[in-house]
Structure 1
Amino acid sequence: MFDISFGQLLLVMILGLVVLGPERLPVAIKTVAGWIKVLRRMSATVQLELNKELKLQELQNSLKKAEQSGLKTLTPEIQASIDDLKRVTESLQKEIDSAAHIDTPTHSDKDKS
């Protein structure tokens, strides 16, 4: 991670011992270790979120490419299924529209009251 040799690490420990003293050095080391753990967790979380966003963006791009290619590359069986679904949808829409016309009250019924 950091390019620190053993000699440099030993020098930092000796300076820390001289500056902080033997009583406060272990507490300082634990505090710094806690900060490093928090930073590592935060960086891992950010990295996971970025990976998720990249995968989502790739999926959206793939879907856009598939939509742009259109229905030209579909097999005849899938195209037939899509046509059947369109016919069923249209018939259901017609039934809903006709039922809506039957259920609506006329103005003459309101005038009689």
Structure 2
Amino acid sequence: MFDIGFWELVLISVVALVVLGPERLPHAIRSVSRFVSSAKSMANSVKDEISHELKVQELQENLRKAEQMGMEDLSPELKSSVDELKKAAQEVQRPYAQKATETSEVGVDSTPRSSETSTPADKKAE
């Protein structure tokens, strides 16, 4: 990325020592290292988000191809993409379905049923 050799780093260090002095140099080095590490982490997070979005776009494209082909005679990679997309859709819907079943299992008087109050240890004892 940058073509900085050993002697250039030595020159930068000497100039920094002369300009900042020995009292402020450690603080400046820590500040620069924090900035560099935060920039790297931000770049990595952006890279991860882009790769995730590309994967989602690829899955959607494969699903469109599958729908156009009528979901018949699909290639193995398209079948796996469709299966992945179906699993992802089920995982997204699962928390909402669990909340709906939990609210429907509670009685009218808002007391939990006896099957909900038993613990896993109680179930093993039965």
Scaled by the length of structure 2, the TM-score of the pair is: 0.56
How does 1:49-64 map onto structure 2 within 5 Å?
49-64=49-64
Q: Which has the higher helix share?
A: 1
Q: What whole-Å deviation, never above 9, does each CA across 1:1-47 have from its counterpart, x for those lacking one? A: 42210100110000000100011011100100000000000000000
Name stretches of at least 5 consecutive residues in structure 1 with no aligned partner: 75-113
Equivalent in the alignment of 1:15: 15
Letter in 2 for 1:14: V
Name stretches of at least 5 consecutive residues in structure 2 with no aligned partner: 75-126
CA RMSD of aligned residues (A): 1.3
How does 1:10-49 map onto structure 2 within 5 Å?
10-49=10-49
Shift of 1:73: 2.4
Letter in 2 for 1:24: R
Greater RCO structure (CA 8 Å; 6+ sep): 2
Letter in 1 for 2:41: R
Scaled by the length of structure 1, the TM-score of the pair is: 0.62
Aligned-partner Cα distance in 2 for 1:26–1:72: 66
The structure 1 segments of at least 4 consecutive aligned residues displaced by more than 6 Å after TM superposition are none
Aligned-partner Cα distance in 1 for 2:63–2:2: 42
Aligned-partner Cα distance in 2 for 1:68–1:10: 63
Query: What count of residue pairs does the alignment treat as equivalent?
Result: 74
Identity of aligned residues (%): 50
Q: Secondary structure at the match of 1:2?
A: coil
Letter in 1 for 2:70: G
Letter in 2 for 1:20: L
